[in-house]
Amino acid sequence: MVLGQKQTLLDDDADQVSCCKKGDLAAFEQLVRKYGKKMFNIAFRIAGNYEDAGEIVQDAFVSAYRGMASFRGAARFSTWLTSITVNLAKNRLKQVRGIRRHEQFSLDDPVPTVDGGLKQDPPSTDPPVHELLEKRDVQLKVQDCINDLEPDFKEVLVLRDLQDFSYEEISAILKVHTGTVKSRLFRARESVKDCLKRAMGEL
Amino acid sequence: MEHAAIQPKLSDYLDDAVTPEEKTAIEKHLTTCAECRQALAELGATRRHVQSLPEVEPPPWLTSKIMAQVREQAEKKRGFFQWLFYPLHIKLPMEAVGLIFLTVAAYLIVQKTQPEMKPLLTPPKEVYERAQPSSPQTAAPLESFKESKQIKKKADEHYLAEKPAAPVPKADQTSPLESSAAKPAGQPEVARKLAAAPEPQADRRMKLKETAPEPAERSEMARKQTAPPVQVAKPLEEAASREERKEGERPALAGKGLVGKAQTLHFSLEVKDVTEAGTKIGEAVTRLGGRIIKKESFENAQILSAEVEAKKKDELLATLRNLGEVKEKVLPAKETEGNRLITIKILPIPASP
């Protein structure tokens, strides 16, 4: 049933993809412009770091360009690209966590900021800063709570609640069963809920 | 539905990702279970909080940086591709030009070096002329030597074969090649030897050919067969061997042609005027319905290769006899049909002693 649905989905990017396969760089640039921001946000929310997100997205697009020939259109291009981005972001996250865990034992290291998210967040473009102070504080806490999630739960939460992918799409992106997506999402939301309750007292 | 079973479904219920039956059951349960209502509310709040996170703006250089990297990749790919395929438009003409250049260069080099090579292949005229009385005729026995190697069964020819080997050491000295290139001073010595003999060496050899050899001589000859190659008649010998090779090829080329099984007839003709005889033979062959395949001219000799009908062979032979002294070297097989290949060697009549 899932497969049937996928086959009926028309890929909006089919034309650009076929142009890319013929070596049309302009077509690929269109895809970069179309999906760059979305992929950047996915990478940013999963990796939890603005600079890392930039590198992840670059790697993802270059990797997609290289693998374009092997992309047969079994899934939509956006699904395929998201899959690449999520995997790269997850790998980066694992690397960074390994380094951080290692560095925790160093006494000479400069003291890291309490909430890494503050440093990583891009400058806000919203004008009424004083009004948003409280909201921003909540956002930082939410991001911290998301950052604390295990990668497998984090990616599902990001894809569902932040990027609004359907369960089927998430299932295709992560190559896991829909049931797994549901249970992971439930556990991710529960974790964030508990985390936020701890951080804010009440929801 | 149990409370414990409902709670995990609340997340799906929030997303409206439950079956209608589940939805009914959950909604029914929520009316009675305050804990579940609270859990659902908190989940909803959590989702709202998460969804409230703003989209971040990627760095403005992101697209250009990605495209720069992609172009780099494309260049790499194309670089390899160009190397292999693309330049065919350019590479092939370039290769063609290179090939032409090489060919022309090679041709010019050969052209330039050839005149220097020529004196080595053909002895200078005056030396050749001095050795003249002997050299063209020595060719005849030498060739028969070669032929006899092929037809070992014929005993008398076998004798002939061994005979010419006798004067080999002497012949070495009279070699036009050596005498011209290496030691022109050796020439008087040769001349003396020639003078000492009542007739030219070659003629003597011809005589040996005609008379039966002594057994003792023969064994000596056999030993001397390992002597260095005879160079006296090299130009002619080479021509003859070339001729033979070609004849070897001809049957193959002719396929089931008439000359296929026929042996080539070799004639030696001694005439006063070689050129004139050559022309006359050519005419005679044409008249008899044959054709001249090849005509090779040397200083004082000619080799004609002709193809005539076997029936007309005798007529041609008669014509040859009219022109001069004919020596048949291979006995003609008794064939009356088909074409025969005939090689006629035209030599000047040797100066009488």
Tell me the per-residue pLDDT of A22-74, one tens digit each, with 9 for 90 and over.
888 899 999 999 999 999 999 999 998 899 999 999 999 999 998 988 888 88
Neighboring chain A residues of B15 at a CB cutoff of 8 Å = 160, 167, 185
Q: Which one of A45, A193, A194, A197 makes the best mutation probe of the B interface by having the most chain B beta carbons within 10 Å?
A: A193
Whether residue B193 lies inside any domain: the answer is yes
Kind and range of the H or E run holding B38: helix B34-52
Whether residue B63 lies inside any domain: the answer is no
Could you tell me if B243 and B336 lie in one domain? yes
Could you tell me if B222 and B280 lie in one domain? no
Q: How far apart are CA B247 and CA B238, in angstroms?
A: 14
Could you tell me if B224 and B243 lie in one domain? no
Higher pLDDT, A163 or B319: A163
Whether residue B62 lies inside any domain: the answer is no
- Identity of the residue in A65, A146, A189 whose CB atom sits nearest the CB atom of B73: A65
Residue B86 DSSP code: T
Query: Minimal Cα–Cα distance from A107 to chain B, Å?
Result: 34
Encode pLDDT of A114-146 as tens digits.
554 444 555 656 556 666 677 788 888 899 999
Could you tell me if B227 and B248 lie in one domain? no
Query: Minimal Cα–Cα distance from B94 to chain A, Å?
Result: 27
Looking at the 3D structure of chain B, how many domains does it have? 3
pLDDT on residue A180: 95
| 3-class state of residue B343 by DSSP | strand
Whether residue B204 lies inside any domain: the answer is yes
Domain termination residue (choose one: B175, B210, B232): B232
Whether residue B28 lies inside any domain: the answer is yes
Whether residue B117 lies inside any domain: the answer is no
pLDDT on residue B233: 45
Strand ranges (E), B216-338: 265-271, 291-297, 302-309, 325-328
Domain termination residue (choose one: B232, B252, B283): B232
Is there a contact between A57 and B62 if contact means CB atoms under 8 Å apart? yes
Could you tell me if B161 and B251 lie in one domain? no
Please check the confidence at residue A190 and state whether its pLDDT lies above 90.
yes
Could you tell me if B246 and B306 lie in one domain? yes
Could you tell me if B239 and B328 lie in one domain? yes
Encode pLDDT of A66-104 as tens digits.
898 888 888 889 999 999 999 999 999 888 877 766 655
Q: How far apart are CA B50 and CA A196, in angstroms?
A: 10
pLDDT on residue A83: 95
A175 DSSP β-pair partners: none
Is there a contact between B42 and A203 if contact means CB atoms under 8 Å apart? yes
Is there a contact between B46 and A121 if contact means CB atoms under 8 Å apart? no
Neighboring chain A residues of B59 at a CB cutoff of 8 Å = 54
Could you tell me if B216 and B243 lie in one domain? no
Query: Minimal Cα–Cα distance from A146 to chain B, Å?
Result: 8
Chain B residue closest to A139 (CA)? B53
Neighboring chain B residues of A32 at a CB cutoff of 8 Å = 63, 66-67, 70
- Identity of the residue in A29, A57, A192 whose CB atom sits nearest the CB atom of B67: A29
Provide the angle, in degrees to the nearest 10, between the axes of the packed helices B62-84 and A25-47. 130
Strand ranges (E), chain B: 265-271, 291-297, 302-309, 325-328, 339-348
Higher pLDDT, A165 or A123: A165
Is there a contact between B56 and A36 if contact means CB atoms under 8 Å apart? no
- Identity of the residue in A37, A65, A157 whose CB atom sits nearest the CB atom of B50: A157
**Chain B residues with CB-CB distance to A under 8 A?**
8, 10-12, 15, 17, 41-43, 45-47, 49-59, 62-63, 65-67, 69-71, 73-74, 78
Q: How far apart are CA B284 and CA B290, in angstroms?
A: 9
pLDDT on residue B121: 55
Tell me which amino acid residue A178 is: T
- Identity of the residue in B17, B56, B74 whose CB atom sits nearest the CB atom of A41: B56
pLDDT on residue B32: 92
Could you tell me if B150 and B131 lie in one domain? yes
Give the CA distances from residue B167 to residues A15, B139, B174, B290, B292, in Å, rounded to whole numbers and listed in that order: 93, 13, 11, 39, 35
pTM of the model as a whole: 0.48
The whole domain housing B240 covers 235-348
Residue B330 DSSP code: S
Could you tell me if B259 and B191 lie in one domain? no
Could you tell me if B228 and B285 lie in one domain? no
Q: How far apart are CA A16 and CA A26, in angstroms?
A: 9
CB A192 within 8 A of CB A142: yes
Please check the confidence at residue A191 and state whether its pLDDT lies above 80.
yes
Domain boundaries, chain A: 2-200
Could you tell me if B307 and B210 lie in one domain? no
Neighboring chain B residues of A41 at a CB cutoff of 8 Å = 55-56, 58
Is there a contact between A189 and B11 if contact means CB atoms under 8 Å apart? yes
Domain termination residue (choose one: B183, B215, B232): B232
Chain A residue closest to B52 (CA)? A139
Whether residue B276 lies inside any domain: the answer is yes
Low-confidence ranges of chain B (pLDDT < 50): 135-149, 151-191, 193-219, 222, 224-240, 242-261, 353
Whether residue B171 lies inside any domain: the answer is yes
- Identity of the residue in B41, B43, B71 whose CB atom sits nearest the CB atom of A25: B71
Positive or negative, the CA dihedral B143, B149, B151, B152 is positive
Class of domain A2-200 (CATH, top level): mainly alpha
Chain A residue closest to B10 (CA)? A186
HSE of B266 in the Cβ direction (CA atoms, 13 Å)?
14
